[in-house]
Amino acid sequence: MKRFTLPNTDIEAPNVILGLMRIQDKTDDEVRELVRTARDAGIDFVDHADVYGNDLHGCERRFAEAMQLTASDRDAITIQTKAGIVGDGPYFDFSYEHLIESVNGSLDALQTDRIDILLLHRPDALVEPEEVARAFDELETAGKVRAFGVSNHTPRQIDLLKRFVRQPIVANQVQLSITHSPVVSQGVAANMLGEQQSVTLDGGGIVDYCRLHDITLQAWSPFQAGFFTGVFLGSPEYPELNAVIDRLAAQYDVPPIAIATAWITRHPAQMQVVLGTTSPERVAGAALGSDLPLTRAEWYELFRAAGHLVP
């Protein structure tokens, strides 16, 4: 498992992490086996959100109840969670009161005294960055949150926050898979009249922006074809892509999921892949893609086979 120190933190992290959005209905044993398999593969970093689960803090609570972490177990795991979505609506809320209430709820559900990384989940159109700054200062001073980041944010939205927030923004979690890759594919086809791929959907150059500012990109839904439309792996809708994935999987002697993971980890921005599977076997397979050295030609072949233009 490839590891690195998250820039602007003292957190040492793997480049494949375990998303726990889908564990609400899993038994204690299933959650424990999932986390144990991940840890055996070197994945000691979990991704939560207050809104994951059937009710508020549902997956965070399921995780803590199943794991019953001792103090030393807790120290050995990096726990990231998110705030800012109000599920009942839905709408977004980056107000001071909401952020404080959300973090207190997460700490309680996770049965811990600190969140290692807190992400602002989705941009709030009504954001008042001074309020975010006040909440971050209070959470940091109280020792409740160690580091702060964002999710689904554009470069300008991050700039606006940075104008007021004192703490570094250390992560930006965005949707990225071989098939759903506007943050990568737009730049490849920039400035081409009439080409859909040329259209800027991410506020403009989010990957380059994050690289320039030492913000670690985290790729959510790494195997989903689109926005929760099902995975592309093994899908009859992507015969060409799966043929290339299967050929490379055989060549590198890994399961196909490792190739799909490697397509993201191969990117020099040093991104983290946020797995969502609840299958221990798939987690172990994906982990094999952590430092699988796809060649430039192979990376682009996968990109083309997913239907992207290489002009």
Ligand X SMILES: NC(=O)c1ccc[n+]([C@@H]2O[C@H](COP(=O)([O-])OP(=O)(O)OC[C@H]3O[C@@H](n4cnc5c(N)ncnc54)[C@H](OP(=O)(O)O)[C@@H]3O)[C@@H](O)[C@H]2O)c1
Binding site for ligand X (CB under 6 A): 19-22, 47, 151-152, 173, 220-224, 231, 233-234, 257, 274-279, 282
Which residue's beta carbon is nearest to the bound ligand X? 276
- 234 or 311: whose CB is closer to ligand X? 234
Helices (H), 94-190: 96-110, 129-141, 155-164, 182-188
Please, what is the minimum distance in Å from the beta carbon of residue 262 to ligand X? 14
What minimum distance in Å lies between the beta carbon of 165 and ligand X? 19
Q: How far is the CB of 273 from ligand X (least distance, A)?
A: 9
Alpha helices per DSSP H over 71-123: 71-75, 96-110
Nearer to ligand X, 35 or 233 (CB): 233
User: Using CA atoms, how far apart are residues 218 and 230, in angstroms rounded to an integer?
Assistant: 20
Name which of 142, 128, 73, 65 is nearest 98 in CA terms: 128
In three-state secondary structure terms, 232 is: coil
Inter-residue contact 265 to 273 (CB < 8 Å): yes
In whole angstroms, the minimum distance from the beta carbon of 192 to ligand X comes to 29
| Closest CB to ligand X among residues 226, 311 | 226
- Please say which residue, 194 or 227, places its beta carbon nearer to ligand X: 227
Min separation Cβ 214 and ligand X, Å: 20
- What whole-number distance in Å separates Cα of residue 131 and Cα of residue 165? 9
Determine the Cα–Cα distance for residues 202 and 185; give it in Å rounded to an integer: 11
Q: Which is nearer to ligand X, 231 or 294 (CB)?
A: 231
Which amino acid makes up residue 167? Q
Among 40, 63, 67, smallest CA distance to 53 is for 63
